[in-house]
Amino acid sequence: TMNLLQKSEKLAILGEMSAGIAHEIRNPLTSIKGFIQLAISENPQNKYFAIVLSEIERINSIVGELLFLAKPTADVFLVKDIRNIIKDVVTLIHTQLSLHNIQINEVYDWDIPKILCEEQRLKQVFINLLQNAIEAMPKGGYISIKGTFLGEGNISIEIMDQGVGIPEERISTLGEPFYTTKEKGTGLGLMTCYKIIESHNGKLCFQSEVNKGTKVTIIFPAATQDTLLGTAIH
Ligand code: ADP
Ligand code: MG
């Protein structure tokens, strides 16, 4: 198993490489997709074309995630209330939740401090984590989100699902590129999460029990008096 530093170096290198590769793949892919769509419209009963199209979509979503990862960082870090960020994400995936018969319960400490964060990136983290929770519960169920003020300048956000769970020996594999157990998975969602959380000086960890559910814990440093002052000026 890799230590954290090796993991982060590997991610940095992968981020740089993926930008170039993803761009090179995207253009021919777009033209292949166009021609397949044309072929489908001319031969609507050909079932192979539909499979080709869905596999193209899969490559497209992998490329999309790689490009997102590698995006040159024009990131803007601002002091924000994490509750609002999570609420926005829950609103965003609302339709998907009801479609899958899933209810979300949110509980936050009233005095949870604000954090210094890049809002768009952080939203992506919660989208990816909630997406995994949804996909882990094919029969529906509850997701519970808990925000806690830990003291010592940290906050934690826990996301708990009642899904299929993750075998213990797999926990250390999470976040490695292309590790997926899903037929249509990319195995890039958690890698993205690790990378973004790391850029927030946070921590991400998993506890899970097979057939019971998974708890994802994210720890963020609270915004300090200095950062609060700094952003007030800028
Ligand atoms: P993907 O969702 O495309 O498979 P991710 O990086 O998001 O890629 O997740 C990698 C793997 O980690 C998943 O395929 C799944 O096996 C496991 N996993 C992540 N989150 C959960 C969860 N909440 N419950 C069960 N398994 C999970
Ligand atoms: Mg995922």
Decide: residue 141, CB within 10 A, 0-12 exposed, 13-18 middle, 19+ buried: middle
Is the distance from the beta carbon of residue 213 to the nearest atom of ligand 1 less than 6 Å? no
Query: pLDDT > 70: what percent of the chain?
Result: 88
pLDDT-based confidence at residue 120 (cuts at 50, 70, 90): confident
User: Ligand 1 centre from 188 Cα, in Å?
Assistant: 9
What is the model's pLDDT at position 225?
77
Most confident segment among 25-34, 70-79, 212-221: 212-221
If one compares 122 and 2, the residue with the highest pLDDT of the two is 122
What is the model's pLDDT at position 233?
45
Atom of ligand 1 nearest to the CA of 174: 12
Give the chain's mean pLDDT.
Answer: 88
Is the distance from the beta carbon of residue 189 to the nearest atom of ligand 1 less than 6 Å? yes
pLDDT-based confidence at residue 230 (cuts at 50, 70, 90): low
User: Ligand 1 centre from 13 Cα, in Å?
Assistant: 22
- Separation of alpha carbons 200 and 197, rounded Å: 5
The arithmetic mean of pLDDT across residues 36-58, rounded, is: 92
What is the model's pLDDT at position 203?
96
Is the distance from the beta carbon of residue 190 to the nearest atom of ligand 1 less than 6 Å? yes
Atom of ligand 1 nearest to the CA of 128: 7
Give the ipTM of the model, two decimals please: 0.99
Is the distance from the beta carbon of residue 113 to the nearest atom of ligand 1 less than 6 Å? no
pLDDT-based confidence at residue 234 (cuts at 50, 70, 90): very low
Q: Check pLDDT > 90 for residue 224.
A: no
Question: What's the longest Cα–Cα distance across the chain?
Answer: 64
Residue nearest atom 13 in ligand 1 by C-alpha distance: 180
- Separation of alpha carbons 195 and 200, rounded Å: 9
Q: Where are the alpha helices (DSSP H) in the chain?
A: 4-42, 47-70, 82-92, 94-99, 119-135, 189-199, 225-233
| Residue 164: closest CA among 191, 140, 193 | 140
Give the three-state DSSP class for 1: coil
Q: What is the pLDDT of residues 161-197, one digit of tens each?
A: 999 999 999 999 999 888 999 988 888 899 989 989 9
Residue nearest atom 19 in ligand 1 by C-alpha distance: 132
Q: Check pLDDT > 70 for residue 108.
A: yes
Atom of ligand 1 nearest to the CA of 165: 25
**Backbone torsions φ then ψ of 141, nearest 5 degrees:** 145, -155
Most confident segment among 60-69, 118-127, 200-209: 200-209
